[in-house]
């Protein structure tokens, strides 16, 4: 392994560890939340947060949702 590949490997491993932490912790939070919040409410909140995040990404990229019905049907 050459010297330039080592920093890239470290970054990739760190990102993989972060992904594992985020992904694994979501299951723990769901387990805890379901005991306190009804499942349908939890689902609605998660979908709403995800939709708002995706709309923020669209706005940040100066993009917009399609307006024609054909695209939405596909």
Q: Answer yes or no: do 46 and 63 share one domain.
A: yes
Q: Answer yes or no: do 47 and 71 share one domain.
A: yes
pLDDT at position 19, please?
92
pLDDT at position 31, please?
80
- Cα–Cα dist 72/65, whole Å: 10
pLDDT tier, 36 (very low <50, low <70, confident <90, very high otherwise):
confident
Q: Answer yes or no: do 58 and 69 share one domain.
A: yes
At residue 28, the 3 state secondary structure works out as helix
Q: Answer yes or no: do 43 and 10 share one domain.
A: no
Q: Answer yes or no: do 29 and 46 share one domain.
A: no
Bigger pLDDT: 27 vs 54: 54
- Domains contained in the chain, number: 2
Q: Answer yes or no: do 70 and 43 share one domain.
A: yes
Instruction: Look up the domain containing 2 and give its range.
Output: 1-35
Whole-prediction pTM: 0.58
């Amino acid at each position: 392994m050459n010297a330039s590949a080592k920093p890239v490997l470290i970054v990739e491993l760190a990102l993989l560890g972060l992904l594992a932490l985020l992904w694994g912790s979501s299951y723990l939070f769901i387990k805890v939340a379901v005991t306190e919040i009804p499942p349908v409410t939890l689902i609605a909140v998660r979908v709403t947060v995800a939709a708002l995040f995706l709309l923020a990404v669209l706005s940040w990229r100066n993009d917009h949702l399609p307006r024609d019905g054909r695209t939405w049907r596909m």
